[in-house]
Amino acid sequence: MSQPTAAPPLIRLEGVRKSFRLPNGEAFDAVRRTTLEVSEGDVFGLVGQSGAGKSTLLRLINLLERPDAGRVFVAGRELTALSRTELRAARQQIGMIFQQFNLVQNATVFDNVAFPLRIHGRHGRAEIDARVRECLDLVGLSEKVDSYPAQLSGGQKQRVAIARALAPRPQVLLCDEPTSALDSETTRALLQQLREINQKIGVTIVIVTHELPVVQALCRHVAILEKGQVVEQFAVDGPVASRKTVLGQEIDALVRQRSRETHQQQAAAPVQLRGVAHA
Ligand SMILES: Nc1ncnc2c1ncn2[C@@H]1O[C@H](COP(=O)(O)OP(=O)(O)OP(=O)(O)O)[C@@H](O)[C@H]1O
């Protein structure tokens, strides 16, 4: 009997490289030759110190940064081979959210979420209306449809940004430090929301973060970057292994700590329940 063949990755960065010109004219290698694959439905974290090249690598996925060398594939298409018009259409497959939300301040929540649908001119009014309301429902913000961004909290603004990113039904959601501007309670709620969205609609998430608890709480796989290169990559809940990097060891320690806490809570639960029953 033949072996089942593994599904091809949804995202493949193949030997990509990106350098920037410094003010003194020298070239700075932000991403050195890198190959990276992300499976469909995954939640994949990119972590590393400041300046390691995380955001640049993320922005290579939708060609917000064009690689100096190498190829980028998303959902079976080579984005690096597309014309500008083809690329604009292909980008409908890739939503993105940012640290500072990037909402249009003088537009309502409805108009912010409708924006990516309107610019492509392929959707009728009723269709846009239904899709905007569906996306706001998905992020729990239906009642804010007529508000303006200034009337929302940071967490709510990021939810609007998520609804806007998801409106064109992308297969991929890129997240560039989405919780860095949020307090810890709001961060927890937003991570829960992203987890639910990943499970509910199967969108593949790639997230840049410098917060290791975000990796522990959300990601299934993680790649650790140093000086523009992936130096280590592993399954976050995978078997304990000796990690090459300090960040890898710290992620493992967090995962183990969380798992111990969960076991302790589970062990304590029947006692608490008995206590309640006797009260
Ligand atoms: N447009 C640009 N022009 C010049 N240099 C850039 C540009 N974008 C990024 N860089 C440089 O490339 C390097 C990698 O930047 P990048 O933003 O990808 O890192 P990062 O790991 O996301 O860092 P941080 O966590 O601080 O955001 C940094 O040294 C940065 O200064």
Lowest-confidence region among 167-171, 208-212, 238-242: 238-242
Q: Whose CA is nearest to atom 4 of ligand 1?
A: 20
User: Is the pLDDT assigned to residue 231 strictly greater than 80?
Assistant: yes
Q: Tell me the pLDDT band of 242, cut-offs 50, 70 and 90.
A: confident
Residue 265 covered by a domain: no
Residue 235's closest CA among 7, 15, 39, 16? 39
State whether residue 113 is helix, strand or coil: helix
CB contact at 8 A, 127 and 161: no
The DSSP element (H or E) to which 94 belongs, if any, is: strand 94-97
Read off the pTM.
0.91
Q: Tell me the pLDDT band of 277, cut-offs 50, 70 and 90.
A: very low
* Closest ligand 1 atom number to CA of residue 53: 18
**What ipTM was estimated for this complex?**
0.96
Residue 268 covered by a domain: no
Residue 114 covered by a domain: yes
Read off the pLDDT of each residue in 127-131 and give the average, rounded to a whole number: 95
* CATH assignment at residue 94: 3.40.50.300
Number of domains in the chain: 1
CB contact at 8 A, 7 and 45: no
Span from the CA of 201 to the centroid of ligand 1 (angstroms): 32
Distance between the two ends of the chain, CA-based, in angstroms?
Answer: 61
Domain with 210, as residue range(s), is 11-255
Ligand 1 pocket member 224 (CB < 6 A): no
Lowest-confidence region among 58-67, 114-123, 141-150: 114-123
Residue 273 covered by a domain: no
Residue 82 covered by a domain: yes
User: Is the pLDDT assigned to residue 276 strictly greater than 80?
Assistant: no
Residue 271 covered by a domain: no
User: Which of 20, 174, 226, 247 for a ligand 1 pocket mutation test, highest count of atoms within 8 Å of Cβ?
Assistant: 20
Q: Average pLDDT over the chain, rounded to whole?
A: 92
Residue 190 covered by a domain: yes
Ligand 1 pocket member 85 (CB < 6 A): no
Model pLDDT for residues 98-107, shown as the tens digit of each residue: 999 999 999 9
